[in-house]
């Protein structure tokens, strides 16, 4: 009986996850700012603001600010978002998922170069904040760091980013946002298979004893 309970517990363990498959988000790198068939780019060394860009919509505060090689450089590609245009702003994207499936959410964050304590950013999945508020003082250039969370799909989910520092037009930078299906680590598969094997052995033993 104890062995059966142990095997069931092993099989039911939540798995550690790694990312697999394509990015489910639209325009996760903020390279596309047009709603036509072409790819529109900002002029080098410029920035502008939008109520919406492909994939993303402003949900609170001021507009979405997209920058190209000004006040820092992108982590990937040539453009990135600063979530404090003329004041604090928030943006979101709704994404189709499979209910109950685990996903890996990852993105890169940096304080704005040459700024103090004004770079706070928060990330939300269906209105629930993921992790601690990101913050920091900016150096001479962008200092990009990756942040990764495992989130659970419900069928249709809302990913949001919001500025949370001083509403002063200087804020944290965001780039290379991705949402991918999460799969178990190989060692977790081994643990689950071992648990299932033990369950099968216990079941056979019971039949023999019966």
Q: Are residues 64 and 157 in the same domain?
A: yes
Q: Are residues 209 and 142 in the same domain?
A: no
Q: Are residues 114 and 47 in the same domain?
A: yes
Q: Are residues 142 and 202 in the same domain?
A: no
Quote the tokens at residue 156. 């249709």
Q: Are residues 12 and 25 in the same domain?
A: no
Count CA atoms within 13 Å of residue 134 on its CB side.
28
Query: What is the pTM (predicted TM-score) of this model?
Result: 0.78
Beta strands in 42-171 (DSSP E): 46-50, 52-53, 56-61, 64-68, 79-82, 89-96, 102-110, 121-125, 128-129, 145-152, 156-163
Q: Are residues 193 and 168 in the same domain?
A: no
CA distance 168 to 45: 21
Closest listed residue to residue 95, CA positions, set 26, 152, 28? 26
Q: Are residues 8 and 62 in the same domain?
A: no
Q: Are residues 30 and 131 in the same domain?
A: yes
Beta-sheet pairing, 89-96 with 79-82:
unpaired
Task: Please calculate the CA angle 103-177-59 and round it to the nearest 5 degrees.
Answer: 100
Q: Are residues 80 and 149 in the same domain?
A: yes
Count of residues making up the chain = 210
Q: Are residues 44 and 72 in the same domain?
A: yes
Q: Are residues 72 and 151 in the same domain?
A: yes
> Which residue range forms the structural domain that includes residue 8?
1-16+185-210
Domain total in the chain: 2
CATH number of the domain residue 62 falls in: 2.60.120.260
Beta partners for residue 209, in sequence order:
none
Q: Are residues 197 and 178 in the same domain?
A: no
Tens of pLDDT, residue by residue, the chain (210 residues):
444 444 444 444 444 455 568 999 999 999 999 877 666 678 999 999 999 999 999 999 899 999 999 999 999 999 999 999 999 999 999 999 999 999 999 999 999 999 998 999 999 999 999 999 999 999 999 999 999 999 999 999 999 999 999 999 999 999 999 999 998 655 544 454 555 555 555 556 666 665
Quote the tokens at residue 93. 């994207």
CA distance 15 to 4: 20
CA distance 159 to 116: 27
Quote the tokens at residue 168. 């002063």
* 45 backbone φψ class: left, alpha, beta (φ>0; ψ -120 to 50): left
């Amino acid at each position: 009986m104890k062995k059966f309970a142990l095997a069931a517990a092993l099989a039911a363990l939540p798995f550690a996850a790694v990312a697999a498959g394509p990015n489910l988000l639209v325009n996760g790198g903020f390279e596309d700012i047009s709603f036509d068939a072409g790819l529109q780019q900002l002029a080098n060394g410029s920035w502008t603001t939008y109520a919406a860009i492909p994939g993303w919509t402003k949900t609170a505060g001021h507009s979405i600010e997209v920058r190209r090689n000004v006040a820092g450089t992108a982590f990937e590609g040539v453009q990135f978002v600063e979530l404090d245009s003329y004041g604090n702003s928030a943006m979101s994207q709704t994404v189709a998922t499979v209910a109950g499936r685990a996903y890996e959410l990852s993105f890169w964050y940096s304080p704005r170069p040459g700024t103090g304590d004004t770079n706070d950013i928060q990330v939300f999945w269906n209105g629930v904040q993921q992790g601690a508020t990101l913050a920091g003082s900016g150096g001479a250039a962008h200092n990009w760091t990756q942040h990764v969370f495992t989130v659970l799909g419900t069928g249709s989910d809302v990913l949001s980013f919001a500025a949370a520092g001083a509403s002063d037009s200087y804020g944290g930078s965001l780039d290379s946002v991705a949402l991918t299906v999460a799969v178990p680590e190989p060692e977790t598969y081994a643990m689950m298979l071992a648990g299932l094997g033990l369950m099968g052995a216990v079941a056979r033993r019971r039949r023999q004893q019966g």
